[in-house]
Amino acid sequence: MTTTDQTAAPFAVRIPEVELEPEPLDPDQIVSGEPVVTGKVLWESPDGKQLRGIWQITPGVVTDTEADELFVVAGGRATVEVEGGPTLEVGPGSVAVLREGDRTTWTVHETLRKAYHITLS
């Protein structure tokens, strides 16, 4: 389910039950392990600058450069090290905020599934 119309009807999904699609992970981002990333955009603003969806990653260690994001962890555990900033321990029920441009290292201990809202500039 993807909608781009801000006037679309309200909706609710069960995060664990949403079928996800493969999302390529740049091999240069993989530090260790064989993590696999999947996801699904549930809503996108007409200008493409706001995204809401579900994202999942299997165990391993990866690096990333973040967007402006708020996310809630539905399952799994990870340690997110923000370069020059805090180390975040996230698990079921955690809410986290990342800033655009944050360089991070994700150590995924258990397959992590999150619901997110991203704002792109």
Where residue 107 sits, what CATH number does that domain have? 2.60.120.10
Domain that holds residue 61: 15-119
pTM recorded for the entire structure: 0.91
Mean pLDDT of all residues in 82-92? 98
> Which pLDDT does position 42 carry in this prediction?
96
Tens-digit pLDDT profile for residues 3-57: 445 556 798 999 999 999 999 999 999 999 999 999 999 999 999 999 999 999 9
Alpha-carbon torsion 121, 44, 83, 73, what sign?
A: positive
| pLDDT above 70: percentage of residues in the chain | 93
Task: Name the residue type at position 109.
Answer: H
On whether residue 3 sits in a domain, the answer given is: no
Whether the Cβ atoms of residue 39 and residue 53 lie closer than 8 Å to each other: yes
> Which pLDDT does position 6 carry in this prediction?
53
C-alpha span between 53 and 13 (Å, rounded)? 10
> Which pLDDT does position 4 carry in this prediction?
47
Asked if residue 90 has pLDDT above 90, the reply is: yes
On whether residue 45 sits in a domain, the answer given is: yes
CA of residue 32 relative to chain centroid, distance: 19
Query: Residue 54's closest CA among 30, 76, 35?
Result: 76
